[in-house]
């Protein structure tokens, strides 16, 4: 039905770790994939966590839980191969680092991505998705910001998660409130003296890292840490709870009922969320202590604090209204920048109890959501193999990569740990679907749904 247009077997949205891992799995010495593919990526390169790469901050996963090693320890694309290629293997071992620096891990991600240059179009932001009918089969049409169109027989969506903006800040029109995704870029924009008071909202590892970083780069600024918790919490790194990042856990979690899922999420939350590694907690505490000793206190932590309101005062400042344990009456803090280290959204139906961290589906799905099966709450329904069901077409032609924490468990979104297995399952799903479709083409017959699902 489309003339003069190239139709790819697979179109991917996003080329961060999730879809890079898919590209690896497509290689002939991995899972393998014989079709054509194109990944569309907003950024000018595959730069992992571009605006949170500061010296000294390390990754939070074992480096061997990379984009391929757990599935294929002999892969050319594992972290060890990267170290070897860079001639740093022996030196890296000598550092004794359990967790490499984030700057180095980002280099690893970029090094792998470079292998797939021909399959990626950078500087390309997908703005619209349409589902067309191609002789009884689904055909995905993507449009980018510049008006270019791309066609694919299947789609792998991996745009990363939507930043979580607490309700008090959602309606504000100001560049003085940012999400951590934009941290370094924003800091580069303002001279230090323009940021005399900076608030860092959230209780995550990123919140603590940013406070530490700011106290080095902006020693004259007053820093406010605002957290709902009594104190910043330490991450649960106990090996027993760490099994949440095993592949077997995905099966347990996926098949659990909703109440059990909720219970597991609450139980295991500190393995990844609202918690920090001991090294940064110690460093921040000692820094604050030293400032007190020297009579130069620059960091204040508002603990057990609840933000009630936020107001743009003028182009240079924002007023935050809050209550906290030691000060239950509403009080105000005027700051020149608010940094939201408040994490990312999961799929789920927002209700009066949620903290603004749920969305029924990512916004990018909106144009095609009427064609996709939703669950009884109206949320994106995702199969165990990460596919979403289309209402009018059988078979797995649409995959959701890296957004399935609420259905598949903690290892699915906020971590590298399961990327390698997940991408293997997705590529197997794509192969099965395309083989069924091509079979349909060859026989020139009508495919039965059971053939497509085989």
Ligand X SMILES: Cc1cc2nc3c(=O)[nH]c(=O)nc-3n(C[C@H](O)[C@H](O)[C@H](O)COP(=O)(O)OP(=O)(O)OC[C@H]3O[C@@H](n4cnc5c(N)ncnc54)[C@H](O)[C@@H]3O)c2cc1C
> Which residues make up the interface to ligand X (CB under 6 A)?
13-14, 16-18, 40-43, 48-49, 52, 59-61, 125-126, 158-160, 206, 364, 402, 414-416
CB of 3 to ligand X, least distance (A): 26
CB of 54 to ligand X, least distance (A): 10
Q: Which is nearer to ligand X, 52 or 131 (CB)?
A: 52
Q: Which is nearer to ligand X, 342 or 440 (CB)?
A: 342
CB of 385 to ligand X, least distance (A): 17
Q: Which is nearer to ligand X, 48 or 140 (CB)?
A: 48
Q: Which is nearer to ligand X, 237 or 290 (CB)?
A: 237
CB of 252 to ligand X, least distance (A): 20
CB of 436 to ligand X, least distance (A): 27
CB of 127 to ligand X, least distance (A): 7
Which candidate, 390, 397, 395, places its Cα nearest to that of 368? 390
CB of 114 to ligand X, least distance (A): 15
CB of 203 to ligand X, least distance (A): 14
Q: Which is nearer to ligand X, 402 or 429 (CB)?
A: 402
Q: Which is nearer to ligand X, 17 or 138 (CB)?
A: 17
Q: Which is nearer to ligand X, 125 or 308 (CB)?
A: 125
Q: Which is nearer to ligand X, 24 or 394 (CB)?
A: 24
CB of 146 to ligand X, least distance (A): 12
Greatest distance between any 2 Cα atoms in the chain: 82
Q: Which is nearer to ligand X, 77 or 393 (CB)?
A: 77
């Amino acid at each position: 039905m489309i003339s003069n247009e190239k139709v790819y077997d697979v179109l991917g949205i996003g080329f961060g770790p999730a879809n890079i891992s898919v590209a690896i799995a497509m290689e002939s010495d991995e899972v393998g994939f014989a079709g054509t593919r194109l990944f569309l990526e907003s950024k000018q390169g595959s730069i992992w966590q571009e605006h949170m790469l500061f010296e000294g901050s390390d990754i939070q996963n074992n480096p061997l839980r990379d984009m391929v090693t757990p599935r294929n320890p002999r892969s050319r694309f594992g972290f060890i191969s990267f170290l070897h290629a860079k001639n740093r293997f022996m030196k890296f071992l000598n550092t004794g680092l359990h967790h490499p620096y984030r700057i180095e891990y980002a280099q690893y991600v970029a090094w792998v991505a470079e292998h797939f240059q021909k399959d990626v179009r950078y500087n390309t932001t997908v703005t619209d998705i349409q589902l067309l009918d191609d002789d009884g089969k689904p055909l995905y049409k993507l449009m980018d910001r510049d008006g270019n169109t791309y066609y694919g027989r299947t789609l792998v969506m991996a745009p990363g998660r939507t930043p979580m903006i607490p309700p008090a800040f959602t309606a504000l029109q100001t560049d003085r409130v940012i999400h951590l995704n934009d941290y370094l870029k924003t800091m580069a924009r303002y001279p230090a003296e323009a940021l005399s008071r900076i608030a860092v909202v959230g209780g995550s590892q990123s919140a603590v890292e940013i406070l530490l970083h700011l106290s080095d780069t902006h020693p004259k600024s007053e820093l406010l840490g605002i957290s709902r918790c009594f104190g910043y919490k330490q991450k649960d790194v106990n090996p027993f709870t760490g099994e949440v990042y095993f592949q077997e856990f995905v099966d347990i979690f996926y098949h659990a009922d909703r109440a059990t899922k909720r219970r597991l999420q609450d139980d295991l939350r500190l393995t990844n969320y609202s918690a920090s590694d001991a090294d940064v907690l110690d460093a921040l505490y000692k820094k604050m202590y030293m400032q007190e000793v020297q009579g130069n206190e620059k960091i204040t932590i508002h603990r057990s604090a609840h933000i009630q309101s936020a107001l743009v005062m003028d182009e240079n400042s924002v007023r935050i209204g809050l209550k906290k344990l030691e000060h239950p009456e509403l009080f105000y803090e005027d700051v020149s920048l608010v940094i939201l280290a408040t994490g990312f959204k999961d799929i789920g139906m927002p209700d009066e109890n949620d903290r603004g961290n749920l969305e029924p589906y990512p916004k990018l799905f909106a144009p095609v959501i009427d064609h996709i099966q939703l669950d009884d709450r109206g949320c994106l329904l995702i199969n165990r193999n990460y596919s979403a069901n289309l209402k009018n077409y059988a078979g797995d032609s649409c995959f959701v990569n890296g957004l399935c924490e609420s259905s598949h468990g903690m290892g699915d979104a906020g971590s590298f740990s399961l990327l390698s297995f997940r991408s293997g399952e997705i590529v197997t799903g794509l192969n099965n679907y395309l083989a069924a479709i091509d079979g349909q083409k060859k026989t020139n017959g009508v495919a039965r749904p059971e053939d497509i699902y085989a």
